[in-house]
Amino acid sequence: MANKTKTQRVLVAMSGGVDSSVAAARLLDAGYDIAGVTMKLWGGPSDTGCCSVSDVDDARWAADELGIEHHVFNFGDDFERHVVAPYVSDHAAGLTPNPCIECNRHIKFDRLLHRADALGFDLVATGHHARIVSTATGLRLGRGIDNAKDQSYVLHMLGPEVLQRLLLPVGETTKQQVRSEAEARGLVTANKPDSQEVCFITTAQGRQEFLSQRIPIRSGRVVNTAGEQVGSVESMELVTIGQRRGLGAVGGGLPRYVLDVDTQSATVTVGSLEELNCQSTPLTRWCWADQPISDEVLVQTSAHGTPAAATVSVDGTQVHWAEPRRRVAPGQAVVAYQGDIVVGGGTAALAAGSYS
């Protein structure tokens, strides 16, 4: 935890989960002047994630148990603009978006910081499982101690200007230790399950129904790499690179995987597992944490995926894998590490026809 003075005021983002509840409790114990805040982001139905009415209630109860102020900030318009609308348009374009990353980028570590400034808070804090590490060239984001719960991947975009204003009190703690501490403190969130799904899509509704209310859902052809039609899909907007299920009998008994999604021609190209492998991945929105690194790094392409050895071009336009690996779905985050430290990150870009 960062150095502090007794007068520092901290605004703690309390999602209604156990991690943020314990984060607030630890900061209170450490002598900070804290207040809790829950961000109201999604105005529609929600039974997953961190946007339901019960989550706001749980956060308020946890704050009451700790004896701290609790606020609710309505960022619904920002959430629609920066998270929901891009999520829909990305699906329409054949991408596989990660809305949690965009929420962190635009809401939790942008709008929240601006609101904290307006209210006179010195710092903000969250319950994310990640660490802030001091290096020879400045503050960097590091993996949380609990590798199974590490959230540095979804926070990779945080630069030094944010890290110097941020506290991550549970990053040095395993999830089980957090739950045990919450139980010992008698917090209402001690045994609450972790959020798992996209908060603005209900379990009953699903992605297809959600998207169909906002954009036309189109069927499409499924072709092999020779261009021969071998099947069809009901919803082009739901197909993702690497997908195997929901493609019909396209392989004559052999497993076939999605290699390419072309929404303009409503065509999905499938192939073998070997054809799914690639030697490089095109990138967009890449940003180095400091100076570009030409040495080999470890690159992660999903929240809890296994990092793979690779090099990233200095201009941040390509990842070159040391060994062939499965294609990364365009729209997914690509994050580079040296050891446990994030050294850069961006997004897998569209590369139509790259299967050939």
Rounded Cα distance, 63 and 43, in Å: 23
pTM for the full model? 0.92
Q: Which residue intervals of the chain bear CATH 2.30.30.280?
A: 218-271
- List all residues 6 or more positions away from 171 whose beta carbon is below 8 Å from its beta carbon: 128, 129, 130, 131, 132, 142, 144, 145
Contact 226, 66 (CB under 8 A): no
Q: Are strands 318-326 and 277-288 parallel, antiparallel or unpaired?
A: antiparallel
CATH of domain 218-271: 2.30.30.280
Annotation marks residue 199 as catalytic: yes
- Phi/psi of residue 307, nearest 5 degrees: -65, 150
Task: Report how far apart the first and last C-alpha atoms of the chain are (Å, whole number).
Answer: 50
Q: Which residue intervals of the chain bear CATH 3.40.50.620?
A: 9-185
For residues 42, 48, 49 and 51, what is the CA-based torsion angle, rounded to 10 degrees?
Answer: 30
Q: Which residue intervals of the chain bear CATH 2.40.30.10?
A: 277-348
Number of helices and strands (H, E) in the chain? 10, 17
By C-alpha distance, which of 330, 324, 212 is closest to 262?
A: 330
Class of domain 9-185: alpha beta
The catalytic position among 100, 199, 278, 287 is 199
Tracing tokens 């709008």 back to the chain, one arrives at 111
Annotation marks residue 50 as catalytic: no
Using DSSP's 3-state secondary structure scheme, residue 125 falls into strand
pLDDT by residue, tens only, the chain of 356 residues? 555 545 799 999 999 999 999 999 999 999 999 999 999 998 766 555 555 667 889 999 999 999 999 999 999 999 999 999 999 999 999 999 999 999 999 999 999 999 999 999 999 999 999 999 999 999 999 999 999 999 999 999 999 999 999 999 999 999 999 999 999 999 999 988 887 678 888 888 889 999 999 999 999 999 999 999 988 999 999 999 999 887 866 666 788 999 999 999 999 999 999 999 999 999 999 999 999 999 999 999 999 999 999 999 999 999 999 999 999 999 999 999 999 999 999 999 987 544 43
The catalytic position among 50, 51, 103, 278 is 103
CATH architecture, range 277-348: Beta Barrel (2.40)
